[in-house]
Amino acid sequence: MHLSVYFHHGRIIRTRSCASAGSLDGCGAAYRKTVPVHEKLYRLGGRAQGRGDMWKPDAPWEKVSHAVSVIQLPPPNVDAAREADLKQMLDDINRRHIILALEASLLVRDDTCRSNTEAYGNPGAAEHLLQKIKRNGGDLKYIIMDEPFYYGHRYSGPTACHESAEALAKKIAAMTVVARRIFPHLEIGAVEVVDNSREWVDELLAWADTYKRVTGQPLAFFHTDVSWSEPAMKNLVPLEKGLRERHIPLGVIYNADGEASFQSNAMFVDSARRHMGEVGPVFGVHLDHAIFQSWVKFPSPMMPETQEGTDTNLVFQYIQPAPVLHLSRADGELTGRLTDAEGHPVASAQVFADAIDISGRMGPQKHEMTGKVPERATSVLVGIRANIEGSCACAGDGTAVVGLMHYSEAETGRRQDMRPVNKANPSPLRQIKISKNVTDAPNILQFPVTPGVDYRLDVPMSVTANGELAGYVILIFMDSANKSVKGDILWFHPTVLSLGAPSTDGDGRFRMAIPSDVTQAGAEIRVYYPGSNALRPLIAASSW
C-alpha cells in the first residue's frame, strides 16, 4: 500500500487547491507500495496539524506506517524544503522501509505549449527535484504524473494546448530518459480524471496504449481522481476491465466530494469514508491501490491514527477487516444484518439509511446552498445552466426539474422568490432536458443583495441519475458597475432522502419502515455503516 504526504520546513502540508467545488481543474494526484496478495496505495494530503512530529520514532501512526507502502512528495515542497529538513524526513522514510515517490511534471513547457497547469513543468525543474532528493539520501522508486492526458489533451481552460496523445507520449519519453540517468530504476505511472463521460474512459485506455507504444513501457499504475457522481463511479467498471486487459494496476483517490471538502473536518471524513465503503461493494470495482488525499485544510489534525477525524485514522479504518451488511426489503419495510468478516454479529452499531431518487419520480425536493455575499456585490443574477459553461451531459439522456427558488438573508431579512419559468408559463416548474445535443442557459432574475452577509438559496429539484453534474443553478454576484464578482454553484444531484439511523440489536439486526413515496418511486436504498477502529466502512445497496 502507499501513503503520499507533503513536506515543508519540518511540517507536512499541501499547497495546491482545486479551482472550485465541483470542478476537476487543478485537482489531481497519485501514489504506491507492495503488500501480500496485491498492491495498495495510500496518500495523505491537506494542511493538517501535528505533521512536524510525523517523522519521530514514537509518532502515533505506527500501525498505519507499517501498512503504508509509499510516501509521495509534491514538487513545491521538495523545492522549498531546507536540505536538513528534507534529509530528516528521507532518513525516517528509509528507517520505516517505506518506498519513495515523487509527483513530477514530465511534460515540459516549450514554444509549442506554455500550459500553466500542474501537468507541465518548466525546463530543468524535474531534474532539479530529482537531484535534490538524491543528494539528501532519497531512493526514489516512482514518479507520478499529475493528469498529463487530461491537461495536455482535454483541458479547455486558459493556456490549454490540446496536444495529441502521440505528441504527449513523445515529450514524456524524452523526459524519462533524463530522469533515469539520476534514478535508473524509476517506474512511472499517472493519475487522471474520471468523470461522467463514458467516451473519456475509452480515450484514457487508448492513451495508455499510445504511451506504451511510444515509450516502450506500460504505465506502472493508473490512479483516478473521481468526480464522485454516480455516473463517474460507474465508469470505473469499464476502466477497470480495460486496465486489467493491459495488466495496469488501478487505484482510486479516496477523498471528499466537492461540497464536503470545504465545509468541516467531520463532513470531509464522513464523505471520504462513504466513498471507501461504496466503490467496491456498490459498484463492484476491484482495486489494486487505495489512495487517500486531500488538497484542502481538512481533515486536521494529522494524528493520532486511532483518533476519530484525523488524516491517519481514515487509513487506519481502511486497513481493518471489511464487515458484511445484508439487506432485504419487502412490504414497505427494510431489514438488515451487520456482521464482521467472520460472521459474528456487530451489535449496537448505528447505520444510516438513505433513499436515492435515481429516476426523479419523487418530484422536486429541497436542495440548498449557503454562502457569503462578496463585499463588492450589490446584486445577484440567478441562472440555470445545463450542458454548458462547465457542465456536461456526458452520461446520457436524462431530466432535471427545478421549482420555485427562494433566496434569503437571515441578518437583514431580505427575501426573494423566483419562478424558474417565463411570465407566460403558468407552471412553477421548469423541466430541463439533459442531452449531449441540447444546452440550456436561462437567466431567471437579478435583484439587490447585501454585501458581506450570509445567504441561503433553497431550490426544489429532481434529477435523474444521468443528470447528475450535467447542470446547475448559479448565483452570479455583480458589483455596482454590473460586472461579475463571483459565481456560486448548486449542482444538479438526484435527491437523497434520509430514512433514519437505526442501531443494530444484539444479533446485528435492524428494521425500519420505508415511506410509500419512496417505494412508489422505486428509489434505490443505501445503508451506510461508518466503520470503527476494528471494522472498515461499508455501504450496501438495495434496489427494486
Tens of pLDDT, residues 245-289: 999 999 999 999 877 777 788 899 999 999 999 999 999 999 999
What is the C-alpha to C-alpha distance for residues 536 and 89, in angstroms, rounded to an integer? Answer: 30
> What pLDDT score was predicted for residue 544?
62
What is the mean pLDDT of the segment spanning 502-520?
Answer: 96
**Residue 307: Cβ-neighbour burial (10 angstroms; 0-12, 13-18, 19+):** middle
Domain residue extents for the chain: 51-318, 324-359+496-542, 365-491
Q: Is the peptide bond before 530 cis (omega within 30 degrees of 0)?
A: no
> What pLDDT score was predicted for residue 51?
52
Q: How many CB atoms lie within 10 A of CB 490?
A: 22
Residue 174 corresponds to which amino acid? A
Of 423-437, 451-465, 489-503, the range with the lowest mean pLDDT is 423-437
Cell of 445: 432574475
> What pLDDT score was predicted for residue 52?
53
Over residues 78-122, the pLDDT tens digits come to 998 899 989 999 999 999 999 999 989 999 999 999 999 999 999
The enclosing H or E element of 267 equals: helix 265-278
Residue indicated by cell numbers 434569503: 408
Residue indicated by cell numbers 450542458: 387
What is the C-alpha to C-alpha distance for residues 434 and 399, in angstroms, rounded to an integer? Answer: 5
- Measured CA to CA in angstroms, residue 100 lies from 134, 425, 434, 544 at distances of 11, 62, 45, 47
| pLDDT value at 211 more than 80 | yes
Question: What CATH fold (topology level) applies to the domain 365-491?
Answer: Jelly Rolls (2.60.120)
Over residues 24-81, the pLDDT tens digits come to 222 222 222 222 222 233 333 333 334 557 888 899 999 999 988 888 888 888 998 8
**Residue 378: Cβ-neighbour burial (10 angstroms; 0-12, 13-18, 19+):** middle
What is the C-alpha to C-alpha distance for residues 466 and 326, in angstroms, rounded to an integer? Answer: 27
What is the C-alpha to C-alpha distance for residues 413 and 434, in angstroms, rounded to an integer? Answer: 36
Q: What is the DSSP string of 402-414?
A: E--EEEE-TTT--
Question: Nearest 5°: phi and psi at 260?
Answer: -70, -25
> What pLDDT score was predicted for residue 473?
98
Q: Which residues contact 300 (CB under 8 A, 6 or more apart)?
A: 46, 47, 48, 49, 265, 310, 311
Q: What is the CATH number of domain 51-318?
A: 3.20.20.80
Q: What percent of the chain has pLDDT over 70?
A: 90
DSSP state of 151: I
User: In Å, how far from its chain's centre is CA 457?
Assistant: 24
| pLDDT value at 167 more than 90 | yes
What is the C-alpha to C-alpha distance for residues 441 and 77, in angstroms, rounded to an integer? Answer: 42
- Give the pLDDT band (50/70/90) at residue 438: very high
Of 61-70, 144-153, 178-187, 232-241, the range with the lowest mean pLDDT is 61-70
State the angle between helix axes of 311-318 and 265-278 in degrees (0 to 180), rounded to the nearest 10: 20
Q: Across all residues in the chain, what is the average pLDDT?
A: 88
What is the mean pLDDT of the segment spanning 383-396?
Answer: 95
| pLDDT value at 526 more than 70 | yes
173 or 6: which leads in pLDDT:
173
Within 284-340, residue ranges assigned H as helices are: 311-318
Contact 374, 451 (CB under 8 A): yes
324-359+496-542 and 51-318 share a CATH fold: no
> What pLDDT score was predicted for residue 73?
84
> What pLDDT score was predicted for residue 9?
24
Contact 252, 279 (CB under 8 A): yes
What is the C-alpha to C-alpha distance for residues 541 and 354, in angstroms, rounded to an integer? Answer: 10
> What pLDDT score was predicted for residue 288?
92
What is the C-alpha to C-alpha distance for residues 5 and 10, in angstroms, rounded to an integer? Answer: 12
> What pLDDT score was predicted for residue 77?
80
What is the mean pLDDT of the segment spanning 289-314?
Answer: 87
What is the mean pLDDT of the segment spanning 526-533?
Answer: 97
**Residue 158: Cβ-neighbour burial (10 angstroms; 0-12, 13-18, 19+):** exposed
Question: What CATH fold (topology level) applies to the domain 324-359+496-542?
Answer: Immunoglobulin-like (2.60.40)
> What pLDDT score was predicted for residue 71?
82
What is the length of the chain? 544
The enclosing H or E element of 434 equals: strand 430-434
DSSP β-ladder status, 405-408 and 454-463: antiparallel
